[in-house]
């Protein structure tokens, strides 16, 4: 029997196991996973760029283009995966390849930051920073899988913001689908997957990296980890938002609150958490079809003006289901990767404080992991990814 057939049979068992784990992790009844997980539903070309065009795109995004080597082709890929209850669903991603002659490619998974509008993800928005990041990794000679997560891009339903199991399953199935696309082009993937992500994608990178290391798919292993500007202690991040200690506090907290209420039931009615007139608006504002600017203009910037004081107190001192669901997202760095971990953050970040990077580094160090923390300087939250990702690309391409 051929090696690829052996891998396929091993993978089917792994997919089923991961599907059941995801269902159990949400506290939902176990659901038999879709045996087609990670298979491609559709693939549409969205970019075919010469190296000079890649350079222009990176420069327009404010990203250093010194590492440009190859042209890049990219596709919007819809693939089969599972939802938060283990039920079959679909999700989208951007898959990018270098335009070179190499048949066996290194592979990078890129996990994006907080996104409220489904059209802002890399697979959909030509000028998005996340697409530029994918172009950067691909131009250095690596394949890129940049999942939209559930409920964004062409994925149905609402995005389960911060759901650990759904984050991992969507990324894992995206990687499988990217490999299928590569196979259709006569190319293969190195089994060692480099993983990076920004903001929400920072903890996501750590969770996905752990799943790869623990054998979530026998065809892949963990090859590198480089999270950027992640909220690695989500309890503190949300408490700081509730106390108006961070930039964009009301938007972050409202997105978190509406999403987690849908998933976990934080309140009986929006009026228990939100002041009027916002209680009547928030579910519509965060339906995935409203752009960030629309939401920001509809909500006052201060959380104290949007939420009831009682609810803000609960966020600052969580108990019950909220405390229980936050705990896994306070410990995404509390394990020992078998590869070096390079954490990037910016001292100038006012959305996610530098203390989160220090928290991650302490957890890694306590586990005996090889780790490094780099301060990319006096730039803001979005500036941190533009400053960090060329350094990540350089490390991953080695």
pLDDT tens profile 101-160: 999 999 999 999 999 999 999 999 999 999 999 999 999 999 999 999 999 999 999 999
Can you tell me the mean pLDDT for 216-229? 98
* Alpha-carbon distances of 152 from 91, 121, 124, rounded to whole Å: 8, 7, 9
Question: What whole-number distance in Å separates Cα of residue 85 and Cα of residue 229?
Answer: 29
Task: Tell me the whole-structure pTM to 2 decimals.
Answer: 0.92
Closest-CA residue to 267 (of 277, 279, 276)? 279
Question: What whole-number distance in Å separates Cα of residue 256 and Cα of residue 292?
Answer: 14
pLDDT tens profile 364-383: 999 999 999 999 999 999 99
Can you tell me the mean pLDDT for 376-391? 98
Can you tell me the mean pLDDT for 273-294? 97
pLDDT tens profile 100-113: 999 999 999 999 99
Instruction: Write down the pLDDT at residue 398.
Output: 86
Closest-CA residue to 263 (of 32, 31, 81, 84)? 84
Instruction: Write down the pLDDT at residue 12.
Output: 46
Question: What whole-number distance in Å separates Cα of residue 317 and Cα of residue 243?
Answer: 11
Q: Where are the domains of the chain?
A: 3-231+339-397, 234-328
Instruction: Write down the pLDDT at residue 11.
Output: 54
Architecture of domain 234-328: Orthogonal Bundle (1.10)
Can you tell me the mean pLDDT for 282-311? 97
pLDDT > 90? residue 19: no
Domain at 3-231+339-397, CATH class: alpha beta
HEC string for the chain: CCHHHHHHHHHHHHHHHHHHHHHHHCCCCCCCCCCCCCCEEEEEEEEEECHHHHHHHHHHCCCCCCCCCCEEEEEEEEEEEECCCCCEEEEEEEEEEEECCCCEEEEEEEECCCCCCHHHCCCCCCCCHHHHHHHHHHHCCCEEEEECCCCCCCCCCCCCCCCHHHHHHHHHHHHHHHHHHHHHCCCEEEEEEEEEEECCHHHHHHHHHHHHHCCCCCCCEEEEEEEECCCCCHHHHHHHHHCCCCCCHHHHHHHHHHHHHHHHCCCCCHHHCECCCHHHCHHHHCCCCCCHHHHHHHCCCCHHHCECHHHHHHHHCCCHHHHHHHHHHHCCCCCCCCCCEEEEECCCCCCCCCHHHHHHHHHHHHCCCCEEEEECCCCCHHHHHHHHHHHHHHHHHC
> Is 306 in contact with 314 (CB distance < 8 Å)?
no
Task: Report CA 220 to chain centroid distance, whole Å.
Answer: 18
Of the listed ranges 12-21, 168-177, 191-200, 214-223, the least confidently predicted one is 12-21
Which residues are CB-contacts of 336 (< 8 A; sequence separation ≥ 6)?
A: 364, 367, 368, 369
> Is 94 in contact with 76 (CB distance < 8 Å)?
yes
pLDDT > 60? residue 22: no
pLDDT tens profile 24-41: 343 333 334 456 999 999
Instruction: Write down the pLDDT at residue 34.
Output: 56
């Amino acid at each position: 029997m051929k090696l690829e057939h052996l891998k396929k049979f091993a993978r089917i068992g792994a997919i089923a196991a991961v599907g059941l784990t995801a269902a159990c992790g949400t506290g939902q009844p176990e659901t038999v996973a879709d045996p087609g997980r990670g298979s491609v539903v559709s693939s549409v070309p969205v970019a075919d760029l010469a190296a000079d065009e890649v350079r222009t795109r990176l420069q327009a995004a404010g990203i250093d283009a010194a590492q440009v080597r190859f042209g890049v082709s990219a596709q919007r890929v819809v693939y089969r995966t599972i939802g938060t209850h283990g039920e079959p669903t679909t999700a989208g991603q951007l898959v990018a390849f270098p335009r070179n002659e190499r048949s066996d490619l290194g592979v990078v998974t890129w996990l994006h930051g907080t996104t409220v509008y489904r059209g802002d993800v890399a697979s959909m928005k030509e000028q998005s920073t996340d697409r530029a990041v994918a172009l950067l990794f691909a131009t250095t000679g690596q394949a890129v899988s940049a999942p939209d997560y559930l409920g964004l891009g062409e994925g149905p339903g609402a995005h389960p913001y911060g759901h650990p199991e759904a984050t991992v399953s969507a990324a894992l199935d995206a990687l499988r689908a990217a490999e299928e696309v590569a196979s259709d082009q006569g190319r293969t993937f190195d089994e060692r997957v480099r993983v990076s992500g920004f903001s929400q994608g920072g903890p996501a990178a750590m969770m996905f990296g752990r799943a790869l290391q623990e054998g979530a798919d026998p065809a892949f292993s963990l090859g590198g980890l480089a999270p950027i500007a992640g909220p690695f202690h989500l309890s503190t991040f949300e408490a700081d938002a509730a106390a108006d200690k961070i930039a964009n506090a009301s938007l972050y907290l409202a997105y978190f609150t509406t999403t987690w209420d849908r998933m976990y039931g934080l309140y009986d009615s929006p009026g228990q958490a939100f002041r009027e007139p916002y209680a009547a608006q928030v579910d519509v504002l965060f339906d995935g079809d409203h752009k960030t600017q629309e939401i920001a203009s509809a909500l006052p910037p201060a959380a104290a003006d949007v939420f009831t004081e009682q609810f803000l107190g609960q966020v600052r001192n969580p108990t019950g289901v909220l405390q229980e669901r936050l705990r896994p997202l306070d410990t995404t760095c509390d394990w020992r990767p078998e590869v070096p971990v390079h954490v990037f953050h910016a001292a100038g970040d006012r959305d996610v404080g530098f203390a989160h990077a220090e928290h991650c580094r302490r957890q890694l160090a306590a586990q005996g992991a090889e780790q490094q923390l780099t301060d990319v300087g006096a730039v803001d939250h979005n500036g941190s990814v533009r400053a960090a990702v060329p350094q990540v690309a350089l490390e991953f391409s080695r």
